[in-house]
Amino acid sequence: MIKTSRHQERIWAMQLIYSLDLTGDLDISTARERIRQLKEQEMLSPDKKYYFEELVEGVLANRAELDEIIRQKALGWDFERIGYLEKSILRIALFELQSGIPVGVAINEAVELAKNYIDEKSARFINGILADKTSPGEQ
C-alpha cells in the first residue's frame, strides 16, 4: 500500500472538487466514482478511507454553507467571478477549519496550493479570505 501525505491528499481533493465543479457534477455519486478512479490510478487501497475522500465528501455535503462563508468574506467580489480553483481551495480550507484543523495549517496549505496551481495574486486573495479576523461562519 502506498503511503500518502496530507499535502498530496489535499492536492487530490482540490483536483477532484475542481473537476466536479467545472463539469457541474457536484453530487456525491459522481464524486465517489471519481474517487474510485483516482484510487485505482494512484494504486491506493480500494478498501481504505483516505483523507482526500473525507475532504471531497465533506465539501460537497457542506458546499452551500462553505460558499456562503466565501460570499460573506469576499467583500467586493462577485462569487461567480471567483475562479473554480480558488473556490475549490477555499472550500477545502474552510471545511478543514470547521473540522478542527489548526488555522495556521489550513491557511498555509491553501496558500501553497494557490501558489503552486494558480498564481501569487490568487494566493494573496485566498490568504485574505482565510486570515479574516472572524472565524468561519461568523460575520
The per-residue pLDDT for range 83-121, each reduced to its tens digit, is 999 999 999 999 999 999 999 999 999 999 999 999 999
24 is written with which cell numbers?
457541474
The per-residue pLDDT for range 66-86, each reduced to its tens digit, is 999 999 999 888 999 999 999
* Cβ–Cβ < 8 Å for 85, 122: yes
Q: Which of 17, 23, 3, 36 shows the shortest CA–CA distance to 93?
A: 17
* Cβ–Cβ < 8 Å for 69, 136: yes
For the chain, list the domains and their CATH numbers: 6-130 (1.10.940.10)
Torsion on CA atoms 64, 66, 70, 71, rounded to nearest 10: 20
